[in-house]
Amino acid sequence: MIHVTVNEKDGLIASFTMDGHADFAERGSDLVCAGASSIAYGMVNAISEVMDFTPILEEEEGYLHYSVPAEFVKEDTVQILLRGMVNQLRSLAYSYPDHIKINSK
């Protein structure tokens, strides 16, 4: 199962972690994993392009941690993109509840 943890402070998303595998299908053919990865990395790339900063990433097989640099957390564009990512991941989790879970803290 993919676990996504969204870290918020004062109503603003500051970081998120995504780890695990969906186990919906064989690795390399898993559409749930591919969808979740596309959503997360698409957002990371969009923020970097629009805001022109290097993302703070930790990544390895089946694990991604993204942190917004502190000076950009309050930027409306950053929050809009992050909220969009969370909504897309929630839609995926709604369709595949046995394969992806979203938690906020």
* Catalytic-labelled residue, pool 3, 21, 65, 99: 21
**21 tagged catalytic:** yes
Separation between Cα atoms, residue 24 and residue 42, nearest integer Å: 21
Contact 58, 64 (CB under 8 A): yes
**33 tagged catalytic:** yes
Count Cβ atoms within 10 A of the Cβ of residue 4 and give its class: 0-12 exposed, 13-18 middle, 19 or more buried. Answer: buried
* Catalytic-labelled residue, pool 3, 33, 65, 99: 33
Active site members: 21, 33
